């Protein structure tokens, strides 16, 4: 490991960056150095901008991927090297609003009932019943399930924050049956190596396989179950602030997106089309 790379790693550790962020930022700097065939501390602004243009036009990376590279390079030059004069920018992303697809209760029942194993069923049920991110559900420990207080402890979720979410009575029963069959010791959903938790990619794969098995076409990933949790709570009358806390959202604005997908809210609205008097159409048809 070069002294420069070591310095950057230490700078990120001091700021409590996640392992995922550290890997992405290091990859950004390494990619620039490889492209320019120079040590990154000797690369000027013109070459950096040329590299970013290469990523966008030749490699056709998405805006979000380019933005991660930008953030990594900006951190390296401004924090590790102290070069505040380095200018990095890409045009702002056009706003895209994609509302999450929500499963009905019947569709969720099909997903859970048709699951090919108790472990897979427990994984999907826990994700939905507690409104968890995939990274959170695979990192649950057996000790995080509190049957007395009826809570689930989410340790170091997004933003390195701990929180509690609800533990459904029905889920607790399912988890007890699951535990009797598999006897997990540390991790609630371990990998083949019981000392390690299930990989995020494995959980995603399980979701896609079981979704196909159930004949469901909605939902792009296991995160759909988290969207369903929030939407169904809102439809049941739970206030937004409570949902925000359970979901671990930093801002209420993030939670408010579920107002746009609740079925009851749409059903309560009346289209202005229903206010039109179109009785003359029937009269005209009868005359013909």
For residue 93, pLDDT over 60 is answered with no
d(CA 74, CA 250) in angstroms, rounded, equals 25
Average pLDDT over residues 182-208: 94
d(CA 247, CA 250) in angstroms, rounded, equals 9
**pLDDT tens-digit series, residues 256-268:** 777 766 655 555 5
Per this entry, what is the length of the chain?
288
Considering only 41-50, 54-63, 272-281, which range has the smallest mean pLDDT? Answer: 272-281
Task: Name the 3-class secondary structure at 173.
Answer: helix
More confident residue, 281 or 24: 24
In the chain, domain spans: 3-80, 105-267
Q: State the Cα angle at 85 between 81 and 90, rounded to 5°.
A: 100
Task: Name the 3-class secondary structure at 137.
Answer: helix
What are 36's two structure tokens? 């320019």
Looking at residue 64, its pLDDT comes to 80
Looking at residue 269, its pLDDT comes to 53
pLDDT confidence of 237, banded at 50, 70, 90?
A: confident
Looking at residue 179, its pLDDT comes to 95
For residue 205, pLDDT over 90 is answered with yes
d(CA 194, CA 248) in angstroms, rounded, equals 28
- With CA atoms as reference, report the closest residue to 134 among 145, 126, 142: 126
Average pLDDT over residues 190-205: 93
Do 118 and 173 touch, CB atoms closer than 8 A? no
d(CA 219, CA 207) in angstroms, rounded, equals 10
Residues known to be catalytic: 133, 158, 223, 226, 249, 258
pLDDT confidence of 244, banded at 50, 70, 90?
A: confident
Average pLDDT, the chain: 85
Q: In what order do the strands lie in the sheet with 151-157?
A: 145-146, 151-157, 161-166
CATH architecture of 105-267: Orthogonal Bundle (1.10)
Burial environment of residue 122 by CB neighbours within 10 A (0 to 12, 13 to 18, 19 or more): buried
Average pLDDT over residues 16-28: 91
d(CA 139, CA 197) in angstroms, rounded, equals 6
- With CA atoms as reference, report the closest residue to 197 among 185, 209, 207, 180: 185
Residue-by-residue DSSP string for 12-56:
HHHTT--HHHHHHHHHHHHHHHHHHTS-GGG--HHHHHHHHHIII
CATH architecture of 3-80: Orthogonal Bundle (1.10)
Looking at residue 220, its pLDDT comes to 81
Do 188 and 154 touch, CB atoms closer than 8 A? no
């Amino acid at each position: 490991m070069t002294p420069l790379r070591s310095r950057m790693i230490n700078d990120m550790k001091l700021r409590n960056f996640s392992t995922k962020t550290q890997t992405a930022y290091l990859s950004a700097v390494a990619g620039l150095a490889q492209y320019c065939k120079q040590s990154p501390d000797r690369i000027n602004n013109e070459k950096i901008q040329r590299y970013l243009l290469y990523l966008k036009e030749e490699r056709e990376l998405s805006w979000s991927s380019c933005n991660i590279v930008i953030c990594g390079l900006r951190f390296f030059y401004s924090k590790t090297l102290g070069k505040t004069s380095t200018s990095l920018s890409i045009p702002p992303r056009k706003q895209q609003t994609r509302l999450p697809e929500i499963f009905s209760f019947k569709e969720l029942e099909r997903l859970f009932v048709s699951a090919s194993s108790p472990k897979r069923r427990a994984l999907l049920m826990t994700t939905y019943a507690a409104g968890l991110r995939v990274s959170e559900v695979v990192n649950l420990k057996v000790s995080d399930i509190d049957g007395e207080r009826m809570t689930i402890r989410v340790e170091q979720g997004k933003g390195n924050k701990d929180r509690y979410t609800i533990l459904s009575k029905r889920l607790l029963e399912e988890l007890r049956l699951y535990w009797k069959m598999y006897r997990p010791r540390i991790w609630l959903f371990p990998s083949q190596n019981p000392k390690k938790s299930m990989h995020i990619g494995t959980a995603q794969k399980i979701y896609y396989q079981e979704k196909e098995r159930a004949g469901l076409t909605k939902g792009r990933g296991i995160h759909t179950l988290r969207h369903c949790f929030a939407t169904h709570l809102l439809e049941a009358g739970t206030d937004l602030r409570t949902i925000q806390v359970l979901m671990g959202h930093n801002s209420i604005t993030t939670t408010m997106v579920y107002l746009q997908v609740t079925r009851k809210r749409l059903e309560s609205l009346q289209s202005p089309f229903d206010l039109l008097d179109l009785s003359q159409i029937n009269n005209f048809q009868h005359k013909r």
